[in-house]
Amino acid sequence: MNIRSEQEMLSFGREFAKGVTYPYVIELIGDVGAGKTTFVRGLAEGLGVKEQVTSPSFMISKSYALPNGGYLVHYDFYRLPEPGIMQDDLAENLKNPNNIVVIEWGESIAEFLPKEHVKIEIKYTEEGREVTI
Ligand code: ADP
Ligand code: MG
């Protein structure tokens, strides 16, 4: 799927939200600036999150309340070569059946993710971004 603009990425995220079941785990793969966080902004909107989504890069994780009582939990492990205590935080959030967990740069915690999770890969192309699910 080719995504030509930031707006299209936001729409893709909103549309993707319609097919999400609870709990749900998404691993986002793509270079810095590919559009991973932009996708999560659209996803959050589609899931009914009222707050503004910002990049969790400097926070490692951010949680947004969902209408079902669970949370959209957004991780970015880019600056975290060793998961450390975040591993417990992740395990805790993966346990809540009402959560949607989205992970950027998940290599360091790959072994702690459930085997059944969705991978979305975003690649730069001349026309925009090539997205593979
Ligand atoms: P990441 O989280 O992957 O590092 P971000 O979503 O934070 O990336 O940033 C992507 C940047 O690229 C944004 O500034 C966005 O406006 C821009 N952009 C340009 N074209 C696209 C596109 N087709 N899809 C997504 N983002 C795009
Ligand atoms: Mg990001």
The protein residue with its alpha carbon nearest to ligand 1, atom 17, reads 6
Q: Of ligand 1's atoms, which has the minimum distance to the CA of residue 122?
A: 3
DSSP state of 57: T
Ligand nearest to the CA of 30: 1
pLDDT at position 23 is 93
pLDDT of residue 125: 93
* Mean pLDDT along residues 28-35: 94
Q: What is the CATH number of the domain that holds 59?
A: 3.40.50.300
CA atoms within 13 A on the CB side of 12: 22
Query: Is the pLDDT at 26 greater than 80, yes or no?
Result: yes
- What integer is the mean pLDDT of 6-15? 98
User: Cβ of 16: how many Cβ atoms within 10 Å?
Assistant: 19
**What is the domain extent for residue 111?**
2-132
- If one counts the domains in the chain, the total is 1
Query: In which band, very low, low, confident or very high, does the pLDDT at 98 lie, cut at 50, 70 and 90?
Result: very high
Omega cis (within 30) before 97: no
- Residue ranges lining ligand 1, Cβ < 6 Å: 3-6, 8-9, 30, 32-38, 55, 104, 128-129
pLDDT of 101 reads: 97
Contact 77, 105 (CB under 8 A): yes
Res. 29: pLDDT tops 90:
yes
pLDDT-derived band at 58 (thresholds 50, 70, 90) equals low
